[in-house]
């Protein structure tokens, strides 16, 4: 082993360490550069022009489209609807997704069956969903009103009352996405080392305590993921309000825009009012709003971590390392050990 070949190997290895990360993330950015960037820049430029959808580009108007949107009462109406539907959907959804994931995390009989059953709502075809929920929320004799009548309340105007329509749409959204988010959380929960629970149980912690102090902090990054993606998705709700009202084809979300969300408003502006410039402005304003909101939710959910757990985790990973070192010393390669363990 001459000194020159060592340094060559060292140099290659250092190059490997330095350059590989960029190579690994490159596919996303290359693809984005090709198909993602152009639409973004395009709509950005359009938002500064007087641009009719059919007639094409007009003249440069600077921020006029943005000002028009911000002074448009329908825009603020749609924002209000969006936020209302968002809260009604995101909060219960997150809660139920956590509970369901926790329930599914156990040693159930027929595990795969139960776990996949929560995903079934996601694959029901939109046709069926529309027909069913339209029928359930039928104002004259739908299931929802029948149930409500049983407890003595009069028929609720699901498609005409603002609050009721938001509730109905939030229900449709939650129905579709709760199982989806539950599975994401479940995947993360499954990776929590079981012996953390065992040692906590030995210390006398009950199931709720274990859930709050061990599970939730352990899955924090994935929890943050679900919070952020639900926030982003929730503020972009579009298909449900669009399908909920068959009577108004103009994309106005109810006869009086009772449930016109921001994206639906964007849609109306682009394809019915054919004002591409203002629609693009709405898209970018929405982007700012969503980023702001997501950031807020991120900062809030970051606070979910307890220091006591962190030390337990450190203990567990130290034990892991000890074990792998011991295995290495006994002659087996680390890779093989990991492989055999994950076969279980």
Partner 1 sequence: MRLSRPAAATAIASAAVLSLALTGCSASGGGGDDEITLSITTFGTFGYEDLYAEYEELNPNITIEATNIDTGGNARTDAFTKIASGGLTDIVALEEGWLGAIMEVSDNFVDLRDYGIEDRATDWVDWKYAQGTDPAGRVIGYGTDIGPEGICYNGPALEAAGLSSDRADVATLLDGDWEHFFEVGQAYTDTTGKAWFDHSGFVWNAMVNQLDEGYYTSDGDLNVEGNSELRERFDLLAGAVAGGQSAAQAAWDWNGGKSFVDGTFAVFMCPGWMLGVVKEKVEAGGGDASTGWDFADVFPGGAANWGGAFLSVAATSEHPEEAAALSDWLTQPEQQVKQSAAAGNFPSTIAAQETLSSEATPNEFFNGAPTGAILAGRAEGVVAQFKGPDDSLIQENVFGPALQALDRKETDGEGAWQQAITLLNDLVE
Partner 2 sequence: MTATASRPVARASKRGLRIDRPGFLTYGLLAAFLIGSTYPLWWSFVVASGSNATRGETLPLIPGGNFLANASKVLDAIPFWQALLNSVIVSGAITISVVAFATLAGYSFAKLRFKGRDGLMLFVVATLAIPTQLGVIPLFILMKELGWTGTLGAVIVPTLVTAFGVFFMRQYLVEVIPDELIEAARMDGAGQFRTFLTVAIPAARPAMAILGLFTFMTAWTDFFWPMIVLRSTNPTVQTALSQLQSGYYVDYSIVLAGAILATIPLLVLFVIAGRQLIAGIMAGAVKG
Site for partner 2 in 134-173 (CB under 8 A): 135, 143
Give the DSSP letter string of 159-183.
TTSHHHHHHHHHHHHHHHHHHHHHH
Among 114, 342, 91, 105, smallest CA distance to 219 is for 105
**Interface with partner 2 (CB under 8 A), residue from 49, 75, 98, 105:** 105
Structure tokens at 115: 């776990």
| Sign of the torsion angle spanned by Cα atoms 249, 250, 255, 260 | positive
256 touches which of partner 2, partner 1, none (CB within 5 to 8 A by kind)?
Answer: partner 1
CB-nearer residue toward partner 2: 6 or 163? 6
Report yes or no: 251 and 242 within 8 Å, Cβ to Cβ.
yes
Looking only at residues 52 through 71 of this chain, which bind partner 1 when binding is defined by CB under 8 A? Answer: 53-56
- Bridge-based pairing of strands 49-52 and 56-60 is antiparallel
**Interface with partner 2 (CB under 8 A), residue from 70, 131, 147, 305:** 131
Q: How many other β-carbons are positioned within 10 Å of the β-carbon of residue 53?
A: 16
Q: Which stretch binds partner 1 (CB under 8 A): 85-93, 104-112, 135-143, 308-316?
A: 135-143
* Interface with partner 2, residue 201, by CB under 8 A: yes
* Interface with partner 1, residue 274, by CB under 8 A: yes
Report yes or no: 259 and 244 within 8 Å, Cβ to Cβ.
yes
Give the integer Cα–Cα distance in Å for 142 and 160: 14
Secondary element (H or E) of residue 51: strand 49-52
For the bound state, the minimum distance from the C-beta of residue 5 to partner 1, rounded and expressed in Å, comes to: 26
Number of residues that bind partner 1 (CB under 8 A): 30
* Interface with partner 1, residue 140, by CB under 8 A: yes
CB-nearer residue toward partner 2: 17 or 249? 17
Q: Which stretch binds partner 1 (CB under 8 A): 11-19, 49-57, 108-116, 323-331?
A: 49-57
**Interface with partner 1 (CB under 8 A), residue from 187, 272, 296, 308:** 272
């Amino acid at each position: 082993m001459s000194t020159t070949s060592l340094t060559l190997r060292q140099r290659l290895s250092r190059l490997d360490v330095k350059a590989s990360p960029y190579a690994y993330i490159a596919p996303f950015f290359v693809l984005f550069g090709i198909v993602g960037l152009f639409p973004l820049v395009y709509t950005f430029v359009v938002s500064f022009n007087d641009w009719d959808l059919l007639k094409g580009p007009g003249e440069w108007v600077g921020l006029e489209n943005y000002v028009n949107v911000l002074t448009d009462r329908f825009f603020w109406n749609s924002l209000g609807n969006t936020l209302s539907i968002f809260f009604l959907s995101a909060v219960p959804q997150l809660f139920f997704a956590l509970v369901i994931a926790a329930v599914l995390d156990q040693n159930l009989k027929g595990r795969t069956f139960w776990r996949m059953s929560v995903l079934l709502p996601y694959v029901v075809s939109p046709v069926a969903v529309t027909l069913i929920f339209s029928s359930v929320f039928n104002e004259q004799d739908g299931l929802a009103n029948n149930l409500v009548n049983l407890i003595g309340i009069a028929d609720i105007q699901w498609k005409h009352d603002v609050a009721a329509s938001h509730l109905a749409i939030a229900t449709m959204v939650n129905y579709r996405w709760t199982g989806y988010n539950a599975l994401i959380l479940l995947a993360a929960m499954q990776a929590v080392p079981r012996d953390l629970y065992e040692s906590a149980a030995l210390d006398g912690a009950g199931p709720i305590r274990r859930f709050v102090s061990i599970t939730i902090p352990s899955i924090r990054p994935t929890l943050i993921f679900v919070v952020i993606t639900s926030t982003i998705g929730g503020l972009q709700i579009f298909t449900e309000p669009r399908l909920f009202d068959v009577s108004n084809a103009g994309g106005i979300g109810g006869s009086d825009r009772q449930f016109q969300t921001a994206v639906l408003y964007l849609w109306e502006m682009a394809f019915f009012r054919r004002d591409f410039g203002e629609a693009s402005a709405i898209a970018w304003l929405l982007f700012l709003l969503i980023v702001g909101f997501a950031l807020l939710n991120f900062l809030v959910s970051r606070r979910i971590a307890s220091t006591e757990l962190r030390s337990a985790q450190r203990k567990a990973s130290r034990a892991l390392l000890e074990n792998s070192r011991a295995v290495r010393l006994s002659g087996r390669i680390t890779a093989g050990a990991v492989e055999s363990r994950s076969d279980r």
